[in-house]
Amino acid sequence: MKYIITGSLGNISLPVTKNLIAAGHNVTVISSNPDKKSEIEALGAHAAIGSATDSDFVNNTFKNAEVAYLMIPSSFALTDYENFQLEVADVYIEALKDSNIQHVVLLSSLGAHLREGAGPIDALGYLEEKLLAFPDLNVKFLRPSYFFSNLFAFGPMILQAGIAGSNFGDTDEKLVLTHTDHIAEVATQTLLDLFTGKSVTNIANDERHPTEIAAILGKALGKENTPWIPFSDEQAHEGLLGAGLNESFASLYTEMGQALRNGKMQEEYWKNRPATLGSYKLEDFAKDFTGAFAHA
């Protein structure tokens, strides 16, 4: 089979690419970074170097493929991430119309079912909706939860202020956590299975309350009994700006926190929990967390 992999050689796309090549498939990896070309080719894949917003480039790259793994790339350098996301989504949709692709696996997210009101996830809901409109396209929406890697952002807060917090976590609801390795495993299996129809797969490794997350990560950095402090939206927004995010990302992430706080973000997950959670848990992440801040 001829596969298209978007997302360059990121934390999910790299293992997926390796797995598909190991299974004997023809794989083309799209990357905007020319420096990735030799690394992609060294894996045994074809490198397609260009921007995901370049419609001619994406059209030509999709042309002869049969299966596509789609994700919307991110860069904190973007000053209007929301419009960038929508632009990429529209380019993907137009390219699919002119291609022979019959199967699409989309890296979406919990909260995409809302379609709006979940910050950076809204564009994924938009892309889901567009893909559902293809009558004969087989589509699988992979909806992972909050990435473990996002928890690294709490390190400086714990070390400097002795707390962890955001504009959610003031209810009894647990935060659903996912590791990118587990997402890659599920994505690989889905791409190899050649499913039929249109469906959603929720992906998770762990379910922990923010107070538990704060305590475990605090302990990992030698800060026993680190509390979780629910912030106001204004405090969260200012904190994100202070951490170096631009206005676009700070506003989107603040809105995502609101969706977590009001319970809408994860509501569909609790109705359709995965039969099996990934083996990597918060305690495993705590070891990686300790290592990341060992010299802080």
User: What is the total count of domains within the chain?
Assistant: 2
Clarify whether residues 197 and 68 are in a common domain.
Answer: yes
The model carries a pTM of 0.96
CATH number, position 87? 3.40.50.720
In a domain, 156, yes or no: no
Count CA atoms closer than 13 A to 23's CA, side-chain side.
17
In a domain, 243, yes or no: yes
Helix (H, G, I), strand (E, B) or coil at 273: coil
pLDDT, one tens digit for every residue, the chain (296 residues): 999 999 999 999 999 999 999 999 999 999 999 999 999 999 999 999 999 999 999 999 999 999 999 999 998 889 999 999 999 999 999 999 999 999 999 999 999 999 999 999 999 999 999 999 999 999 999 999 999 999 999 999 999 999 999 999 999 999 999 999 999 999 999 999 989 999 999 999 999 999 999 999 999 999 999 999 999 999 999 999 999 999 999 999 999 999 999 999 999 999 999 999 999 999 999 999 999 998 76
pLDDT of residue 76: 86
Clarify whether residues 211 and 115 are in a common domain.
Answer: no
Clarify whether residues 257 and 187 are in a common domain.
Answer: no
CA–CA gap between residue 101 and residue 114 (Å, rounded): 27
CA–CA gap between residue 277 and residue 273 (Å, rounded): 9
The answer to whether the Cα torsion of 14, 17, 22, 27 is positive or negative is negative
Clarify whether residues 89 and 189 are in a common domain.
Answer: yes
CATH number, position 252? 3.90.25.10
CA–CA gap between residue 17 and residue 51 (Å, rounded): 19
In a domain, 172, yes or no: no
In a domain, 11, yes or no: yes
Clarify whether residues 211 and 135 are in a common domain.
Answer: no
CA distances from 127 to 91, 132, 151, 292 (A): 10, 9, 27, 35
Length of the chain: 296
Domain that holds residue 211: 206-292
In a domain, 173, yes or no: no
